[in-house]
Structure 1
């Protein structure tokens, strides 16, 4: 992938050159530092990428490894793999689906592009980079003739409500815009549809270890 576009920085009222491309070994340190900024404690540091995992991603499925530059600076990334998923076998954890982040579970004969990670440097979030990365992966789904894109979303504000709301109730309030969750709200605006919240999806105290499974269906599949 190699795509040049413009992005408007709302915070600074100016346009920037954005470059969507595959990431490579010389990007690894930048990607790791972005993860540390984007997912500070209490997010578990052991879930940040390391160079061995990133090297594995490139070896297994380089098409699913993309990053985005802002005026030549790497500012975000998205990593995906292919899996075979049906509604009957949909329950899983992030570890089990991704081989604990190694992507050794990648199945090139599968029907679903699965989001392993989406991460944007907080300093560049006003540019809508997450939406650009997500849109690029939708294009990958179409290009690869897969049925859908699926990913498990963090629910980072759920810890404030878990005493009074079930995960399903929380998600429904976010859908109705009565609660604004920074991750779920973003995904809904990016075209994703909720499937179900999953317990013990990821080690994440802010989400009470839940993840909301979401999907985008390929309208051209067939």
Structure 2
């Protein structure tokens, strides 16, 4: 049986049960921690501190009406971080490497920001399609370009997240395969490659968190234009 490097993006199963179901149960167990004490523990305090600083940084340039999105974007941030990191666990796969799932998140969120702008301030929202002072001959061309760039935004969100995670996982798969192949014959080279693999794994953890942050940050920028 010939194995493909892309088999890592398939859902592994054991006894007919998708292991991703078990893996998805792990993040809520880490995030939703209950304590019988009056004061929170260190983990809850750290989570509260992170959420407070994240919302402060994201919503600092956004008007007060846009602050209603704080819980939505915070929940989306935690969801994406959890899903991105799932693929680094054994016997799991990363759901956000599937373009269909990323587009299913990006399109509704982007569409909501556009609809809010058209409802709250239609003149300003439509004014983004045509910069002030544009010559008459360039008006139709600029409107077409700005309209295309507007509709490309959700595609860019989904493709960016998919491409970064897929490339990182494929690179880890290639290097780990090289370690197993070189280990019996070239031990020193395999050891050095294994060290590179460990460093790359740490980098992939950082990429998983950064890409979730970039996804939410771009959504907040789209929201800033429409509130």
**Fold-level similarity (TM above 0.5):** no
TM-score (normalised: structure 2)? 0.26
Structure with higher Rg: it is: 2
TM-score (normalised: structure 1)? 0.27
| Structure with more of its chain in strand, by fraction | 1
Specify which structure has the bigger relative contact order, considering alpha-carbon pairs within 8 angstroms and separated by 6 or more residues: 2
